[in-house]
Amino acid sequence: SQITSRLADVFNQRCEVNRRASVSGCVINTCGWVKSSGYQALVHAASAFEVDVVAVLDQERLYNELKRDLPHFVRTVLLPKSGGVVERSKDFRRECRDERIREYFYGFRGCFYPHAFDVKFSDVKIYKVGAPTIPDSCLPLGMSQEDNQLKLVPVTPGRDMVHHLLSVSTAEGPDDNISESSVAGFIVVTGVDLERQVFTVLSPAPRPLPKNFLLIMDIRFMDLK
């Protein structure tokens, strides 16, 4: 919810200086996770962005819950799904995600030519966002589970980074709140050489990397085509 609130703040700042954006507003395409924490994320997004209309596709229960929990001035609409539409399988969604990542580096129908180069371990600092979940009773005083989920954890470069996507943060340092900073772009690790203390990356732009703070994701991409 903290990241969503920050995103809403940035959007509002843009609207203040861009009349076209302010007039047109925005469309929020949410994920299909609509239970438990997923539902709370939907409600929080609606609140943070002060949405006017919520369109629910073929989920009558979700429609009724949102109708109950959102302010009365939010127009909640239930829409039927088109005939013949089926739910996408996990494998299909994984393939679609891989294809979008491929398009990021290679463009539509291979119209881009990404760059491959080595990056020294010593030239970058790698973090992951989120520490392992611990019982509430073990959390430091005043700290919540959400704070723990957004905690920056240093990552030591190793062979387990291969095929992982990394986002290149625009932050100048760890004190810039990297988890809320914009990213300059994404790279994927294609190899790690522990002897030379370098890892090879696939990048949409040539060397050097614009910044040296990287965030590692759980998402992997194997460049097989």
pLDDT the model gives residue 27: 95
Cα Rg of the chain, angstroms = 21
Q: Is 120 helix (H, G, I), strand (E, B) or coil?
A: strand
pLDDT the model gives residue 110: 87
Structure token pair of residue 78 = 């239930």
Domains (ranges, CATH) in the chain? 2-79 (no CATH), 91-220 (2.40.30.330)
Structure token pair of residue 210 = 């614009």
How sure is the predictor about 156, in pLDDT bands with cuts at 50, 70 and 90? very high
How sure is the predictor about 168, in pLDDT bands with cuts at 50, 70 and 90? very high
Rounded alpha-carbon distances, angstroms, from residue 125 to 63, 167, 198: 44, 12, 13
Q: What's the chain's average pLDDT?
A: 90
Residue 31 has pLDDT above 90, yes or no: no
At position 218, the amino acid (one-letter code) is D
pLDDT the model gives residue 41: 94
Mean pLDDT, residues 131-143 taken together: 63
How sure is the predictor about 141, in pLDDT bands with cuts at 50, 70 and 90? low
pLDDT the model gives residue 173: 80
Q: What's the pTM?
A: 0.81
pLDDT the model gives residue 139: 59
Residues 76, 82, 87: CA angle, nearest 5 degrees = 90
Give percent of the chain with pLDDT exceeding 70: 92
pLDDT digits (tens, 9 = 90+) for 99-110: 999 999 999 988
pLDDT the model gives residue 133: 63
pLDDT digits (tens, 9 = 90+) for 40-98: 999 999 999 999 999 999 999 999 999 999 999 999 999 998 888 888 898 999 999 99
